[in-house]
Amino acid sequence: MLARNWRCRNGELDLIVRRDDTLVFCEVKTRRSRRFGHPAEAVTAPKQRRIRQLATVWLRVSGVRAAVVRFDVAAVEGTRVEVIQGAF
């Protein structure tokens, strides 16, 4: 893991990890139930744009480079975790 709950004035990135040549920015969404939908549904287009912008800032300030950058969503419902690789 490279970073967890990384923050700057524009927002927060939940998880940043490296898997071989891939740098993964993972948004974690938790719900107790599906009353308000699947947790991944909360990662809307505006949220995706913000995460991409934050990832750009993180890459600039960290100096980390990677051949591939991927954006995942970890959807947590109770004790169940579903990781959607390449979610956006």
- Please name each of the domains of the chain with its CATH number: 3-84 (3.40.1350.10)
Tokens coding 44: 């809307």
Q: State pTM to two decimals.
A: 0.94
Nearest residue to 14 via CA among 43, 38, 35: 43
Give 34's pLDDT tier (boundaries 50, 70, 90): confident
Nearest residue to 73 via CA among 81, 58, 64, 83: 83
Q: Which residue has the higher pLDDT, 17 or 32?
A: 17
13 CB-contact burial (10 Å; exposed 0-12 / middle 13-18 / buried 19+): buried
**What are the Cα distances from residue 7, in Å, to 13, 16, 58, 61?**
7, 12, 9, 12
Residue 84 pLDDT more than 90?
yes
Per the listing, tokens 């974690």 go with 28
Give me the amino acid identity at 81.
V
Q: What is the pLDDT of residues 35-82, one digit of tens each?
A: 889 999 999 999 999 999 999 999 999 999 999 999 999 999 999 999
